[in-house]
Amino acid sequence: MRRKPGSLVPLELAILELAAARAGDPFHGFELAKALADADGSRALTAHGTLYKALGRLAEQGLLEDEWEDPDVALGEGRPRRRLYRITGAGARRVVEEHRREPVPSPKAALA
Amino acid sequence: MNLTRLALWWVDRYTRGGSEPARVARREEIASDVWEHRAVAGAGPRVEFAVLSRCVRGIPADISWRRSRHRGRRLPSLRTAVRVAGWSLAFLAYLFLVGAHGYSATAVVGFDFYGADWEPGDVIWYARVSAMLLALLLAGGILIRRWPRIAVAMLVAATLGTCGAFWWATPIYAPLGLAVVAAAVALARRRAQIVSSAAS
């Protein structure tokens, strides 16, 4: 099923919520995967493809901004450079909007 | 055991043919993720499998990402895959037949098709021509990705040579040779398209 343009899937919303909770501190992909797993109490980390596709979509929608880390910093620490993400104003507003929306009850719940 | 290499190999595969900056960014991002994963969880088979599992579980999303990046461009379809497989089979059949002729002429495999029909010196001539044609075919097949034009020329020369040397088997060699040359031309064109779309 094709999703509505501009709509967020649960993973994207979870990413935005975690990003909003960091109050503008940048984070990288693996850090986010670990935080998502910790929040869920899951041992398995989000798959690479799923995670980076979601991050890419959020960045394309202007809800996250990204920048590559200074290569000298990475070199100094002897690791590959990180792509750092940060929530934008639009992203923070979107989280608030999503929380304001009433959850639509499922037909099963309505019958219960 | 380094299963994480498989994850990076997969990134190389599914980003191929796209724009170079997107390809490099995706590769660097996954390489960084894998490095952080190993740095946090430590080395060992469990971590390697965890990385591989993240890679495998993400394949549907990777394919969807690739499709979204290539929207509007032609992607290799199942029809193309079947066509390439068919042409590859024709190529292998061609190699096999020429090779079989060469071997049978020298009686290396212990049988001789031609028996008393041979003139003195025919065996050596026949074996040399077969070896040369085989070398041309093999080199054409190997070089097709790197130097497509040279490879196509080699395959054309091999086809003409085969039909000339084994004229009595032309009904078999001519269609096979044409199929192999057509495959080589199609591959060369496809490669040129990929290179030009990646450059733009």
pLDDT score recorded for residue A110? 45
Is the pLDDT at A112 greater than 50, yes or no? Answer: no
Residue of A nearest to B54 (CA): A47
3-state secondary structure of B70: coil
Q: Do B61 and A49 touch (CB under 8 A)?
A: yes
Distance CA A19, CA A13 (A): 10
Q: Which of A1, A2, A3, A30 to mutate to test the interface with B (most CBs of B within 10 A)?
A: A30
Distance CA B144, CA B155 (A): 10
> How far A28 CA sits from the closest chain B CA (Å)?
8
Q: List the structure tokens of B101.
A: 């002729």
Residue B113: pLDDT band by 50, 70, 90 thresholds? low
Of A48, A79, A83, the CB nearest to B54: A48
pLDDT score recorded for residue A94? 93
Mean pLDDT, range A52-61, rounded to an integer: 93
pLDDT score recorded for residue B44? 82
- Distance set, CA B42 to CA A41, B34, B90, B119, B177 (Å): 20, 11, 49, 72, 54
Top pLDDT among A43 and A18 is at: A18
In this predicted model, what pLDDT tens digit does every residue of A57-107 receive, in sequence order? 999 999 999 999 999 999 999 999 999 999 999 999 999 998 887 565 555
> What's the mean pLDDT when you consider all of chain A?
86
A28 contact residues in B (CB cutoff 8 A): 32-33, 36
Q: Do A47 and B26 touch (CB under 8 A)?
A: no
Residues above pLDDT 90, as percent of chain B: 12
Q: How many C-beta atoms surround the C-beta of residue B114 within 10 A?
A: 12
Distance CA B154, CA A28 (A): 51
**ipTM surpasses cut 0.90:** no
Is the pLDDT at A111 greater than 80, yes or no? Answer: no
Q: Which residues contact B76 (CB under 8 A, 6 or more apart)?
A: none
pLDDT score recorded for residue B111? 45
Distance CA B65, CA B75 (A): 13
Q: Tokens 């990076």 appear where?
A: B8
pTM: 0.58
Is the pLDDT at B149 greater than 70, yes or no? Answer: yes
Question: Biggest alpha carbon distance in chain B?
Answer: 76
Q: Do B62 and A30 touch (CB under 8 A)?
A: no
Mean pLDDT, range B175-188, rounded to an integer: 80
In this predicted model, what pLDDT tens digit does every residue of B69-94 receive, in sequence order? 776 555 555 566 666 667 777 777 77
A52 contact residues in B (CB cutoff 8 A): 26, 29-30, 58, 65
Residue B150: pLDDT band by 50, 70, 90 thresholds? confident
A34 contact residues in B (CB cutoff 8 A): 40
Is the pLDDT at A27 greater than 80, yes or no? Answer: yes
Top pLDDT among A109 and A60 is at: A60
Is the pLDDT at B126 greater than 90, yes or no? Answer: no
Top pLDDT among B142 and A76 is at: A76
**Phi, psi of B56, deg, nearest 5:** -65, -45
